[in-house]
Amino acid sequence: MSKAIIRLGPRHKKSLYAGFALLWLSGALWLAFHYFLRMDGEFGPEAHPLEAWWLRLHGLMAMLALALAGSLAPNHIRLAWNRRRNHRSGLPMLALTIWLAATGYALYYFSSDDNAAWLPPLHWIAGLALPLLLGLHIRRGRRRALPRVNQPQHPQQRHVAAPSYNPPARIKASS
């Protein structure tokens, strides 16, 4: 029996990349609209009308990202942990994901004037750093990965990944 592969499948990888990219983009756009694209109103600066929509999309993508992050636990995280592979970037990646989930939860349920000065930056500074740490984790993982054995190089050859079976020659019974 061959070893299970730590690498993500193509659809899983695309789902993760798309989910986390939309999460990051919606958060970055909310920051831009909240801090830099305010509109002049009758009584001074007002929130841009799209600001609330970016925040709503960010909340939706956060739920999806948590599900996607959870999908890594059974194979990717568990196998890498057991084989002691890529811990130097994997553990900080896992810690950052937990941190972002915890601070996002705190922002939603415990936001107040008392913590408005320090709680939001704890979330968005870590969130802005996510692509850097993810890129480092991916690069280190690819560099340290074991060579693919019996893996086709061309995507259309995936159905022939296993080596062909050649049964042993029949041995004639002696009389």
- In the chain the first and final C-alpha atoms are separated, in Å, by 38
How do residues 77-126 score in pLDDT, each as one tens digit? 888 888 888 888 899 999 999 999 999 999 999 988 899 899 999 999 99
* Residue 162: per-residue pLDDT: 46
pLDDT at residue 167, rounded to an integer:
54
pLDDT at position 40 = 81
Full-model pTM: 0.75
Three-state helix/strand/coil letters over the chain: CCCCCCCCCHHHHHHHHHHHHHHHHHHHHHHHHHHCCCEEECCEEECCHHHHHHHHHHHHHHHHHHHHHHCCHHHHHHHHHHCCCCHHHHHHHHHHHHHHHHHHHHHHHHCCCCCCCCHHHHHHHHHHHHHHHHHHHHHHHHHHCCCCCCCCCCHHHHHHCCCCCCCCCCCCCCC
User: Which residues of the chain carry a pLDDT beneath 70?
Assistant: 1-3, 145-175
Tell me how far apart the alpha carbons of residues 52 and 162 are, in angstroms, rounded to a whole number.
Answer: 51
Question: How many Cα atoms are found within 13 Å in the side-chain-facing hemisphere of 150?
Answer: 9
Q: Decide: helix, strand or coil at residue 42.
A: coil
Q: What confidence score (pLDDT) does residue 147 get?
A: 58
Res 160: pLDDT: 45
pLDDT at 145: 65
